[in-house]
């Protein structure tokens, strides 16, 4: 059947509000089946499926519709099954590669933490295949980056950041590795590359508080639930919370991780001055997916006016799944609000505007011999990139 809605038209999503509401009800961990069935008459299931794809919640949609098979057209059910099959295969490949890399790093005495990806899928949904992701993210100390890069290259990966750039002290947005033949992607992060934390991430504290998360028959190292919650809230803010999948991760996380210490989560956020970002993620989980939080936490969220303003802005562009025309000034204003403090906000924005990454280096991946020139070039590149009205 022909697609009834092109991704470009998602900017006009309010014309498809019924499908948007039904999708949110399906994805919510607190979904009400009776309320969901009320939306079925007149529902355009092809639009629901397209929305789910664009928002990265196909797995959650399929899980939410488990008891509603009779109401779903057979071609939509088949499309959901095919999407799930593809994600299952990718998840198996990524998880197998994760185990191999963890063993490789361990043999070479390089400590890592697994963030997002299959660990977050297990923590938020209880099943690594229910969350849409296409790469592996690992947290690695900066002093181990060179050794880790050498190991990745020896394992057949291509490094987007060269050893010359690493030796020169160049700091990218992430250390990206790819295997073109198998389409495997791995990103290494640390306290230097995670620039969207208002204050530098205390990576040693993250390693000291690490836990083990069970994946298949293995246990893998991961941040504590409280640290991981803060990290994924900062990650969502980095991407302007443009997709429902980012919010579904928060809702699923707090629904399943019932032993989270909210006091420790608050202290983790406070250590990096990300209290407003944590509150924004939790507020969106409540407003969009009806997340149920302890009353003391909900009260704290309602008192955070900065988080309320950030969440209100997100609700304007969220349904469009990244196709909303978010202008350069609106992006800058959101970044300023992310920091919250009137005095600290300009410095926070300037840090992004003048801290060059690999995209700004004169020769990609090779390192530049003129940091100042790269820094001055960066604002103009950002203006060209985000001045265009396209999906980000």
Q: Which residue has the tokens 């490789």?
A: 104
Q: Is residue 136 part of a domain?
A: yes
- Kindly state the average pLDDT of the residues 291-306: 95
In a domain, 363, yes or no: yes
> Residue 157 carries which DSSP code?
P
* Inside any domain, residue 382: yes
| Burial category of 37 from C-beta neighbours within 10 Å (exposed 0-12, middle 13-18, buried 19 and up) | middle
Which of 168-172, 219-223, 230-234, 271-275 is predicted with the least confidence, judged by mean pLDDT?
168-172
Share of the chain above pLDDT 90, in %: 59
Residue 341 scores a pLDDT above 70: no
- Confidence at 343, pLDDT banded by 50, 70, 90: low
Residue 388 counted as domain residue: yes
* Domain contains 144: yes
Q: State the pLDDT confidence band at 1, using cuts at 50, 70 and 90.
A: very low
The pLDDT-based confidence of 67 (bands split at 50, 70, 90) is confident
Asked if residue 152 has pLDDT above 80, the reply is yes
- Residue 164 included in any domain: yes
Find tokens 């032993």 and name the residue.
259
Residue 34 CA, chain-centre distance (Å), reads 31
Q: How far apart are the first and last CA of the chain?
A: 28
Output the domain CATH number for residue 125: 3.30.460.40
**Dihedral sign computed on CA atoms, order 27, 28, 33, 37:** negative
DSSP-derived letter for residue 5 is S
pLDDT at 8 over 60: no
**Which of the listed residues 223, 244, 274 is the one where a domain comes to its end?**
223
Percent of the chain whose predicted confidence (pLDDT) is above 70: 86
Overall average pLDDT of the 364-377 stretch: 59
**What is the structure's pLDDT at 194?**
93
- Are the CB atoms for 195 and 379 separated by under 8 Å? no
In a domain, 148, yes or no: yes
In a domain, 259, yes or no: no
- Total count of domains within the chain: 2
Highest mean pLDDT among 45-59, 267-281, 337-351: 267-281
Exposed, middle or buried, 266 (CB in 10 Å: 0-12/13-18/19+)? middle
**Average per-residue pLDDT in the chain?**
87
Q: Domain range spanning residue 177?
A: 90-223
Q: Give CA separation, 217 vs 99, 210, 379, in Å.
A: 10, 19, 47
- Boundary (domain end) residue, out of 204, 223, 242: 223
From 208, 223, 238, the end of a domain falls on 223
Question: Band of the pLDDT at 258, cuts 50, 70, 90?
Answer: very high
Single pTM value for the model = 0.90
């Amino acid at each position: 059947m022909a697609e009834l809605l092109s991704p470009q038209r998602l900017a006009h999503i309010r014309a498809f509000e019924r499908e948007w509401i039904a999708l949110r009800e399906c994805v919510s961990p607190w979904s009400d089946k009776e309320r969901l069935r009320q939306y079925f008459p007149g529902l355009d299931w092809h639009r629901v499926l397209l929305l789910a794809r664009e928002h990265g919640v196909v797995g959650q949609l399929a899980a939410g519709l488990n008891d509603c098979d009779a109401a779903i057209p057979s071609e939509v059910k088949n499309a959901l099954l095919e999407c799930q099959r593809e994600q299952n295969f990718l998840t198996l490949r990524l998880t197998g590669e994760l185990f191999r890399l963890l063993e490789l790093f361990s043999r070479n005495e390089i400590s890592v933490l697994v963030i997002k990806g299959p660990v977050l899928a297990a923590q938020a949904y209880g099943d690594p295949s229910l969350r849409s992701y296409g790469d592996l993210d690992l947290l690695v100390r900066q002093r181990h980056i060179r050794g880790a890069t050498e190991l990745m290259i020896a394992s057949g990966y291509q490094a987007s950041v060269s050893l010359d750039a690493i030796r020169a002290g160049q700091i990218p947005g992430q250390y990206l590795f790819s295997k073109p033949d198998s389409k495997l992607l791995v990103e290494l992060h640390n306290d230097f590359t995670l620039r969207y934390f208002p204050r530098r991430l205390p990576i040693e504290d993250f390693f000291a508080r690490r836990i083990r998360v069970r994946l298949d028959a293995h246990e893998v190292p991961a941040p504590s639930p409280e640290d991981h919650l803060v990290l994924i809230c900062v990650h969502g803010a980095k991407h302007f919370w443009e997709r429902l999948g980012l919010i579904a991760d928060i809702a699923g996380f707090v629904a399943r991780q019932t032993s989270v210490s909210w006091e420790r989560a608050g202290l983790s956020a406070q250590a990096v001055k990300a209290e407003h970002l944590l509150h924004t993620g939790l507020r969106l989980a409540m407003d969009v997916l009806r997340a149920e939080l302890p009353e003391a936490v909900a009260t704290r969220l309602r008192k955070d006016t900065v988080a309320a303003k950030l969440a209100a802005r997100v609700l304007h562009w969220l349904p469009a799944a990244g196709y909303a025309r978010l202008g350069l000034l609106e992006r800058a204003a959101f970044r300023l609000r992310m920091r919250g403090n009137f005095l600290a906000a300009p410095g926070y924005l300037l840090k992004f505007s003048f801290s060059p990454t690999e995209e700004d280096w004169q020769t990609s991946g090779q390192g530049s011999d003129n940091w100042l020139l790269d820094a001055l070039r960066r604002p103009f590149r950002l203006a060209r990139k985000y001045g265009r009205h396209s999906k980000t």
